[in-house]
A and B are shown apart, each in its own frame.
Chain A
Amino acid sequence: MKFRAKIVDGACLNHFTRISNMIAKLAKTCTLRISPDKLNFILCDKLANGGVSMWCELEQENFFNEFQMEGVSAENNEIYLELTSENLSRALKTAQNARALKIKLTNKHFPCLTVSVELLSMSSSSRIVTHDIPIKVIPRKLWKDLQEPVVPDPDVSIYLPVLKTMKSVVEKMKNISNHLVIEANLDGELNLKIETELVCVTTHFKDLGNPPLASESTHEDRNVEHMAEVHIDIRKLLQFLAGQQVNPTKALCNIVNNKMVHFDLLHEDVSLQYFIPALS
Chain B
Amino acid sequence: MSENELDTTLNLKCKLGMKSILPIFRCLNSLERNIEKCRIFTRSDKCKVVIQFFYRHGIKRTHNICFQESQPLQVIFDKNVCTNTLMIQPRLLADAIVLFTSSQEEVTLAVTPLNFCLKSSNEESMDLSNAVYSEMFVGSDEFDFFQIGMDTEITFCFKELKGILTFSEATHAPISIYFDFPGKPLALSIDDMLVEANFILATLADEQSRASSPQSLCLSQKRKRSDLIEKKAGKNVTGQALECISRKAAPRRLYPKETLTNISALENCGSPAMKRVDGDVSEVSESSVSNTEEVPGSLCLRKFSCMFFGAVSSDQQEHFNHPFDSLARASDSEEDMNNGSFSIF
Contact = CB atoms under 8 A, between A and B. Distances in A.
A83 to B, nearest CB: 9
Interface of B: 92, 96, 98-99, 101, 126, 129-142
A109 B126 contact: yes
A100 to B, nearest CB: 14
A198 interface: no
B136 A128 contact: yes
Nearest to B129: A134
Interface string A108-145: 11101000000001111111111111100000000000
A90 B138 CA distance: 20
Contact of A122 (B96, B130, B140, B142): B142
Given A121-B138, A124-B141, 15 more contacts: A90-B132, A91-B132, A91-B134, A94-B98, A109-B126, A121-B142, A124-B139, A125-B139, A125-B142, A127-B139, A127-B142, A131-B133, A132-B132, A132-B133, A133-B132
B326 to A, nearest CB: 43
Contacts of B140: 125
Interface in A147-191: none
Nearest to B137: A128
Contacts of B132: 87, 90-91, 131-134
Contact of B134 (A84, A122, A123, A129): A129
A167 to B, nearest CB: 27
B139 A123 contact: yes
Contacts of A84: 130
A102 to B, nearest CB: 14
A87 B142 CA distance: 28
Given A94-B98, A123-B141, A124-B141, A129 B136 contact: yes
Nearest to A29: B130
A260 to B, nearest CB: 32
A129 B135 contact: yes
Nearest to A124: B141
A177 B105 CA distance: 41
B136 A127 contact: yes
A112 B134 CA distance: 12
Contact of B130 (A94, A108, A121, A134): A134
B30 to A, nearest CB: 35
A90 B101 contact: yes
13 contacts: A84-B130, A87-B130, A108-B133, A121-B138, A121-B142, A122-B142, A127-B142, A129-B135, A129-B137, A131-B133, A131-B134, A131-B135, A132-B134
Contacts of B136: 127-130
A134 B101 CA distance: 14
A126 B131 CA distance: 26
A94 B101 CA distance: 11
Interface string A94-105: 100000000000
- Chain B, interface SS category: mixed
Contacts of A127: 96, 136-139, 142
A230 to B, nearest CB: 35
A129 B130 contact: no
Nearest to A87: B132
A129 B139 contact: no
B129 A130 contact: no
Contact of B141 (A90, A110, A112, A125): A125
Contact of A130 (B131, B134, B138, B141): B134
Interface in A18-52: none
Contacts of A108: 133
A123 B141 CA distance: 7
Contacts of A131: 99, 132-135
A89 to B, nearest CB: 11
Interface string A53-92: 0000000000000000000000000000000100100110
Nearest to A126: B139
A126 B140 CA distance: 10
Most chain A beta-carbon contacts within 10 A, residue among B92, B99, B139:
B99
Nearest to A121: B142
A130 B125 CA distance: 14
A121 to B, nearest CB: 6
A94 B99 contact: yes
A263 to B, nearest CB: 29
A87 B125 CA distance: 13
A226 B177 CA distance: 72
Contacts of B141: 123-125
Contacts of B96: 127
A187 B99 CA distance: 50
A173 B140 CA distance: 55
B251 to A, nearest CB: 31
Contacts of A94: 98-99
